[in-house]
Amino acid sequence: MKKPFERVPSDIARVTAAVPQFETSIGLLVKITGATAIASSNYRWTYSWAAAEITGTTPAQKTVGLIGNALSVSELSNNAITPTKYSYGITGTNIPAGFLPQQIPVGTYVWIVPQRTTTGTMIWLIVNTQAIDGVCSE
């Protein structure tokens, strides 16, 4: 039996073995798999996602990987208060007629990071800039 603080050959082998080092990451590359409008919100969605990977320069959804839900950071500021604001403070009245904030399209690859709510529950946040698109109606 091993005594406290006694080293055995397997301990030495474990701490001296060369372990491949990869850059640590605080987020995940994911593929958006769905979007659901948040009830009574102003251009905000809850997004479903699946973990992704990159081979060479080609992204793809992992065959087996994490899945979850996330909110978009740029949509958190969207509000219905007059004047209406979207995506980091764009005033709604300054958007040309026919243009509106858009959800992140299904199939888009995005970067997500973990965050804790005030109750300690983990939620994922998408780091992106919300698109505003449409057809000029003037």
**For residue 95, how many other CB atoms are within 10 A of its CB?**
16
Residue 89 has pLDDT above 90, yes or no: no
Residue 73 has pLDDT above 70, yes or no: yes
Looking at residue 78, its pLDDT comes to 84
Q: Are strands 67-72 and 45-55 parallel, antiparallel or unpaired?
A: antiparallel
Share of the chain above pLDDT 70, in %: 80
Looking at residue 95, its pLDDT comes to 85
Residue 108 has pLDDT above 70, yes or no: yes
In DSSP terms, which residues pair with 69 in a beta bridge?
48
Residue 96 has pLDDT above 90, yes or no: no
Q: What does the pLDDT look like over 18-55, one tens digit per residue?
A: 666 555 668 999 999 999 999 777 889 999 999 999 99
Instruction: Break the chain into its structural domains and give their ranges.
Output: 27-128
Looking at residue 24, its pLDDT comes to 61
Average pLDDT over residues 123-128: 94
Query: Are 103 and 42 within 8 A, CB to CB?
Result: no
Looking at residue 90, its pLDDT comes to 82
